[in-house]
Amino acid sequence: MELLNTNPGLTRDRGSLSWLPTLLRVVYFLFLLCLFFTSIELMSTAFKMAGRGFAEQLINTVSDPVAGLILGFVATGIIQSSSTTTTIVVGLVASGALTIELAVPIIMGANIGTTTTNTLVSMGHVTRPVEFERAFAAATVHDFFNVLAALTLLPIEIFFHPVQRMAVFLQGVFAGVGGMNLASPLKLVVGPPAQLLAGVIPHTIPLAILALAILFLALQQMMKVMRGAILSRLEGLFDRVLFRNDGASFTLGMVATATVQSSSATTSLIVPLAGTGVLSLRQIFPYTLGANVGTTITAILASFSTGSPAAVTVAFAHLSFNILGIAIYYP
């Protein structure tokens, strides 16, 4: 009995040392998370280097709504940034080179084009069939929602213009509101290393290959960490707190995306979580809807500062499309 009760300080030391592996795993996981987001930023930078001018030329040739939808998808797929596509559209509408009627289908197409990053991330699980099935399903939730929303709303928009009318109404409601440009905390962290690598490798293809290599390396290591003891802790946190119901999942997706200003980053992050079984498709769907809304908030706030009604209308068209899509397809 004396042996059991002597030296309580040693017992406390053992207790504190037992936390060391978990702490190291958490720190390593956070480092890998930064590496993961850096690879996505680097990939976006690589595609923008080659594709922004071409994307602008594509959008400038739009002559009908169906072509607008297709070219919005292609342009965003090339530059991997719906925000950049929206910026191009805003500039063309403000200059009179593009009408609001044609801008709305382009925004719909941009919503579809921005989902390709998720699919790339799911490929990191291809060597594990069960994980790949779950990850790919999680990645395509975003795809299917945007595709179905666009296919449903485009014909209605052509004849009745609900998205345009809603956007014009909201623009009138918020006319004269001062805007703000928000700095993305994520870009403050991952932007400098991405720009540094882009300066060292100023060519699109090698830079994109490097970005993919970093992406899959970070993803592979993240999975190894998550399959350990940290996985059970994550499951408890997500099930009981962050994704406890649809409202919480939606709010998390919206706030996280509005904060980091990248739906590609926030929706790609949940793909490995789905692959390892931490999250279910039922939890992911409302999160994705929230991310779709969150990605429009920054553009709306920024558009207020332009003083251009066209810029504000296009920003609200993006929001209106997502809200109407949610109203139709949210179960």
State the Cα angle at 173 between 171 and 174, rounded to 5°.
Answer: 65
Could you tell me which residues come within 8 angstroms of residue 159 by beta carbon, excluding any fewer than 6 positions away?
A: none
pTM for the predicted model, two decimal places: 0.78
Single out the residue of 286, 315, 326, 324 nearest to residue 110, CA to CA.
315
The per-residue pLDDT for range 41-94, each reduced to its tens digit, is 787 777 666 556 666 676 767 778 998 899 888 888 777 677 778 778 877 887
Residue 244 DSSP class: S
What's the N-to-C CA distance of the chain in angstroms?
62
11 or 161, greater pLDDT: 161
Cα of 237 vs its chain's centroid, Å = 22
Residue with tokens 């991405």: 194
Residue 53: its pLDDT value, please?
65
287 or 99, greater pLDDT: 287
The per-residue pLDDT for range 142-151, each reduced to its tens digit, is 889 999 999 9
286 φ, ψ to 5°?
-65, -30
Residue 317: its pLDDT value, please?
92
Low-confidence winner among 2-6, 290-294, 309-313 (lowest mean pLDDT): 2-6
Domain residues of the chain, as ranges?
22-329
How far apart, in whole angstroms, are the C-alpha atoms of residue 66 and residue 63? 9
Residue 183: its pLDDT value, please?
57
The per-residue pLDDT for range 224-246, each reduced to its tens digit, is 776 655 566 666 777 788 888 99
Single out the residue of 158, 182, 169, 150 nearest to residue 76, CA to CA.
150
Residue 245 DSSP class: S
Residue 3 pLDDT level (bands cut at 50, 70, 90): very low
Tokens describing residue 2: 């004396």
Burial code (b: 16+ CB inside 10 Å, e: under 16) for 278-293 equals bbeeebbbbbbbbbbb
How far apart, in whole angstroms, are the C-alpha atoms of residue 219 and residue 197? 19
Residue 284: its pLDDT value, please?
92
